[in-house]
């Protein structure tokens, strides 16, 4: 049969021609491939050009539609697949601790920094979800050598990794474990940092070092861990959640009512690898730490201990709980800056949002208003909120141009109304001025060594120290830092001044004058002698040096009012820097002696350590019944780091310690 209508010269119709067999209705059914191909081709040839074009166009159109719908389906499927993977992860309890920030953070940038201006912190893009890591690059989990006998921090890490793996495989609903003890229950899992938090950067440039062999924990470090545990036992048993332990009366004292010792000790526990203790403390922070309290706190003390402690714990653990708490306290401290001069008041009521100077004066202490910058600047970098940084930079700019300095040395007080220094003419590197000098250098390091005014002020001040405050004692000719009062030199030196050798060494390590290192070496010897020349081997709070040789007299004289020891950290802090930068084992040995003497004279058998009233009486050092929070926050931490041979255990090219020994990241690598 034929359905064709032939004859027209214009073939704009469909013509189908059947072969003879079909036409005849014979030959049966032939469906061979060759036949079908031939027949199709014949039919195609019989079509008009227009018909072919229409068909080709249709095919092309269908093909394009097909590709488009395939792609969008792919996306849909991918997201469905990812979602179900995520769901699975949640079920399998993948660690929920947010990743730790990289040790070295991006430098704040400012296109055009005028000389004499502080560069703006360039706040970074809002964050992508952070990469999942368990600790800062230099503190990350590494597999220990199988044959390592000594217990290492990394044993703990590997054990925890294995636990996490097992957890995943078994799909259990157990707690999530991260290295260094952060066991986070599902209901405590931390929120991602606020959308304003900077994007976490590329892996730290030092990541390859993570592959290095782990450094075993040595006997002396174990002794520090033991000391910490003993101190912690006392705090836990008798002062849990309170500010300070009173180890003899088995009670506590309250200063701000904010669990000061616990917060100060958080990052020490992390560094010492005290997992259980850290977990327990974290739970207290999550459930019981409340800043909405009608209480007056000292701006400086709460910044360095609480804000600093929370920020460094956030960096080490990556747990955003600590950042949230840091933001909370940071905001609550801000009313302190509402003064006529913008020089902050000493005290803030963190519940009411009001601030005031001490009752008897409108002055603030110079060290206090100039040693809160590392913490507030870091808080701005993390939150993207510049108000914190602006407030503290304002203070530094103001002090930079203020008259009343003596060759870079500052007086001890500044008025919150006029913004002027008061009580002019007295210069010390001890109480009320000490950390001004420390923070000049450390802010400069934190900001990537770009803020020239800070460096200028620091260098000028050290020249001032050399010119006005250095003397040598008799008979041992120890170089010490005295005080200047209205032109008169006093051979008095606070133990607090012993931060200086460490700071000088840190400056020299960062490229400053080599003679700073020489001075650091002589001063640390003096600070050690402040221990070694005393009957208990522990330094008093203040010493007076003999400037003239007298028969039977040592270099050091101690007045009855000054012979207490508060378990302060400054000498071990400096020993730590000196050992890191020189590798000279004598510094470790000196620190070891000091630890043994703390154990001998300040350890309370039922738990805790105590300040003592008389370092000159080994048979009765007169315990004071108080363990300061900095003993756990600073003294034992610096001891542990001093005894370590692992320079990546808080690498000093990546972290800068605040004045309460809380490490904060340097914004750009050295
Ligand atoms: C700490 O709070 C800090 O180190 C501060 O800078 C000085 N006083 C104590 C420790 O001595």
Given a cut of 60, whether residue 572 has pLDDT beyond it is yes
Lowest mean pLDDT among 23-32, 158-167, 172-181, 247-256: 172-181
Active-site residue, 525 included: no
- Is residue 52 within a helix (H) or strand (E), and if so which, with residue range? helix 49-92
- Quote the pLDDT of residue 43: 67
Distance of CA 64 to the CA centre of its chain: 54
Nearest ligand 1 atom to alpha carbon 367: 6
Q: Is 17 annotated as a binding residue?
A: no
List pLDDT tens digits, range 132-155: 233 333 343 222 232 333 344 444
User: Pocket around ligand 1: residues whose beta carbon is below 6 Å from it?
Assistant: 435, 496, 568-569, 630, 634, 659-660
Instruction: Select from 321, 308, 331 the least CA-distant residue to 260.
Output: 308
Q: Render pLDDT for 382-434 as a digit per residue (tens, 0 to 9).
A: 999 999 999 999 999 999 999 999 999 999 999 999 999 999 999 999 999 99
Q: How confident is the model at residue 47 (pLDDT cuts 50, 70, 90)?
A: confident
Max Cα–Cα distance, the chain, nearest Å? 142
Q: Partners of 494 in the beta sheet?
A: 542
DSSP annotation of 293 reads S
Choice among 44-58, 204-218, 445-459 with the minimum mean pLDDT: 204-218
- What confidence score (pLDDT) does residue 38 get? 54
- Percentage of the chain modeled with pLDDT above 90: 67
Nearest CA to ligand 1 atom 6: 659
Band the pLDDT of 59: cuts 50, 70, 90: confident
Is 301 part of the annotated catalytic residue set?
A: yes
Whether residue 541 lies in the annotated active site: yes
User: Which residues in 14-25 are b (16+ Cβ under 10 Å) and which e?
Assistant: ebeeeeeeeeee
Ligand 1, atom 3, lies closest to the CA of: 660
Q: Which residue, among 651, 523, 633, 542, has the nearest Cα to 587 in the 3D structure? A: 523
Please report the atom of ligand 1 found closest to the CA of residue 573. 4
Q: Look at residue 34 and give its three-state secondary structure.
A: helix
The answer to whether residue 147 is catalytic is no
Q: Look at residue 157 and tell me whether its pLDDT is greater than 70.
A: no
Atom of ligand 1 minimally distant from the CA of 661: 4
Mean of the per-residue pLDDT values of the chain: 79
Q: What gap in Å lies between CA 286 and CA 277, rounded to an integer?
A: 14
Answering whether pTM is above 0.85, one says no
Question: What's the rounded Cα separation, in Å, for the pair 447 and 137?
Answer: 20
630 CA to middle of ligand 1, Å?
A: 7
Catalytic: which of 301, 363, 368, 393?
301
288-298: per-residue pLDDT in tens?
999 999 999 99
């Amino acid at each position: 049969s034929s359905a064709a209508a032939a004859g027209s010269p214009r073939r704009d119709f469909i013509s189908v021609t059947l072969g003879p067999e079909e036409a005849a209705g014979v030959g049966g059914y032939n469906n061979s491939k060759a036949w079908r191909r031939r027949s199709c081709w014949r039919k195609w040839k019989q079509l008009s050009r227009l018909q072919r074009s229409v068909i080709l166009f249709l095919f092309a159109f269908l093909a394009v539609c097909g590709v488009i719908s395939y792609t969008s389906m792919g996306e849909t499927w991918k997201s469905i697949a990812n979602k179900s993977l995520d769901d699975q992860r949640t079920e399998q309890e993948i660690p929920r601790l947010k990743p730790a920030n990289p040790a070295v953070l991006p430098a704040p940038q400012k296109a055009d920094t005028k000389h004499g201006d502080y560069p703006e912190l360039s706040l970074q893009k809002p964050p992508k979800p952070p990469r999942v890591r368990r600790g800062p690059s230099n503190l990350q989990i590494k597999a220990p050598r199988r044959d390592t006998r000594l217990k290492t921090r990394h044993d703990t890490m590997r054990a925890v990794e294995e636990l996490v793996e097992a957890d995943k495989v078994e799909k259990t609903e157990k707690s999530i474990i991260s290295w260094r003890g952060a066991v986070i229950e599902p209901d405590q899992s931390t929120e991602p940092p606020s959308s304003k938090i900077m994007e976490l950067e590329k892996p730290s440039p030092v990541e390859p070092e993570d592959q290095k062999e782990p450094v075993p924990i040595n006997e002396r470090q174990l002794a520090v861990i033991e000391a910490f545990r003993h101190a912690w036992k006392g705090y836990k048993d008798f002062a849990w959640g309170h500010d300070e332990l009173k180890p003899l009366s088995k009670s506590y004292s309250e200063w701000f009512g904010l669990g000061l010792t616990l917060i100060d000790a958080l990052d020490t526990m992390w560094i010492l690898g005290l997992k259980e203790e850290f977990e327990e403390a974290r739970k207290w922070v999550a459930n019981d730490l409340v800043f909405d309290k009608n209480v007056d706190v000292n701006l400086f003390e709460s910044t360095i201990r609480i804000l600093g402690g929370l920020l460094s714990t956030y960096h080490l653990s990556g747990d955003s709980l600590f950042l949230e708490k840091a933001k909370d306290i940071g905001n609550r401290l801000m009313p302190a800056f509402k003064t006529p001069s913008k020089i902050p008041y000493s005290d803030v009521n963190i519940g009411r949002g009001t601030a005031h100077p001490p009752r008897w004066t409108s002055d603030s202490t110079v060290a206090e208003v100039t040693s809160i910058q590392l913490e507030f600047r870091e808080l701005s970098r993390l939150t993207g909120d510049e108000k914190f940084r602006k407030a503290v930079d304002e203070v530094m700019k103001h002090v930079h141009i203020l008259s009343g300095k003596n060759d870079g040395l500052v007086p001890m007080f500044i008025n919150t109304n006029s913004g002027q220094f008061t009580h002019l003419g007295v210069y010390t590197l001890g109480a009320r001025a000490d950390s001004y000098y420390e923070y000049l250098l450390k802010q400069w390091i934190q900001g990537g060594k770009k803020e020239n005014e800070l460096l200028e002020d620091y260098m000028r001040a050290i020249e001032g120290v050399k010119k006005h405050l250095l003397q040598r004692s008799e008979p041992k000719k120890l170089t010490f830092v005295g005080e200047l009062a209205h032109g008169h030199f006093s051979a008095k030196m606070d133990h607090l001044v012993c931060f200086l050798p460490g700071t000088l060494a840190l400056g020299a390590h960062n490229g400053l004058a080599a003679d700073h290192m020489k001075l650091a070496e002589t001063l640390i010897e003096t600070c050690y002698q402040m221990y070694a020349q005393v009957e208990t081997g522990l330094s008093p709070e203040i010493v007076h040096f003999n400037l003239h040789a007298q028969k039977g007299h040592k270099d050091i004289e101690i007045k009855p009012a000054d012979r207490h020891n508060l378990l302060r950290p400054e000498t071990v802090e400096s020993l730590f820097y000196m050992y890191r930068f020189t590798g000279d084992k004598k510094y470790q040995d000196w620190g070891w002696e000091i630890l043994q003497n703390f154990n001998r004279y300040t350890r309370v058998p039922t738990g805790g350590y105590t300040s003592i009233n008389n370092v000159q009486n080994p048979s009765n050092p007169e315990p004071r019944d108080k363990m300061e929070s900095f003993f756990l926050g600073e003294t034992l931490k610096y001891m542990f780091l001093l005894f370590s041979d692992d320079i990546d255990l808080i690498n000093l090219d990546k972290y800068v310690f605040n004045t309460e020994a809380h490490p904060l990241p340097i914004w750009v690598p050295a």
